[in-house]
Structure 1
Amino acid sequence: MKIILTSVFVDDQAKALAFYTDVLGFVKKNDMPLAPDGPRWITVASPDDPDGVELLLEPDGHPAVQPFKTALVADGIPCTSFAVADVRKEHERLSALGVRFTQEPIEMGPVTTAVLDDTCGNLIQIAQHA
């Protein structure tokens, strides 16, 4: 068994697609309408592994989602984590692009992490393992 798809709930799919591709650097894998003028099935993947795990940019319209997202953000809890080669360099690159970080790079034993706002209602952790 292996993971092939995971998701983040986003408040605006078009804005999320732009952020996750143009800013974070993922590549668009799928973009299919689910209904006329409605939500889309949008997935992105790592450019280093385009046939690997896909991230679904899922609409956050379900009534249970907003309280969940709000609680996570209020408590500073990231909804997911992405591996990077160098957290400090990625922090500098993303900061230069205007990304807002809620946690600056910090070393926690063998892991260095930082937490960013994805502009779509989520906190995302980036992590580097020593």
Structure 2
Amino acid sequence: MDFYTSVLGFIKKKDIPLGEHKWLTVVSPEEQSGVELLLEPMGFEPAKLYQQSLKEAGISWTSFVVDDIDKEYERLCEQGVKFSIAPREAGTAKIAVFDATW
């Protein structure tokens, strides 16, 4: 959760206890009534397996859009975020891929 709030700048919206886990969602500070990002607990084996399988295949499981990818890349690098792909052109878009498994 700290990675998504402190580093990426999302705001916690829901924090609902569900037994040993929680239902946690975060939202953009600019769109607080918009789309919520559900943070699956890494202790939940199916979620862990799903995320690991995607990572091994080189596929991101979440994508975000920013106004200036180069500026955001520098900001995140300064906070210790590790990237597997630095900003680069990919067709008609510019992408970067970071490790969100803090």
- Fold-level match, TM-score > 0.5? yes
2:61 maps to 79
1:26 maps to 10
> Residue type matched to 2:23 in 1?
W
Q: Deviations over 1:28-57 (max 9, x none)?
A: 10112112xx10111100011010000111
Worse-superposed segment, 18-27 or 58-67: 58-67
Q: CA deviation at 1:66?
A: 3.2
Alignment pair present for 1:39 and 2:16: no
Map 1:40-119 → 2, pairs under 5 A:
40-119=22-101
Q: CA deviation at 1:63?
A: 4.1
Higher fraction of strand: 1
Aligned to 1:82, the other structure's residue is in SS state: coil
Worse-superposed segment, 84-93 or 59-68: 59-68
Q: Deviations over 1:67-107 (max 9, x none)?
A: 33222111221001011111111100000000000000011
Find the aligned partners of 2:56 and 2:83 in 1 and give their Cα distance: 14
> Residue type matched to 1:102 in 2?
S
> Residue type matched to 1:112 in 2?
K
Q: TM-score, normalised by structure 2?
A: 0.90
Gapped runs of 5+ residues in structure 1? Answer: 1-16, 121-130
Q: TM-score, normalised by structure 1?
A: 0.72
> Residue type matched to 1:42 in 2?
L
Identity of aligned residues (%): 48
> Residue type matched to 1:43 in 2?
T
Q: CA deviation at 1:61?
A: 4.2
Gapped runs of 5+ residues in structure 2? Answer: none
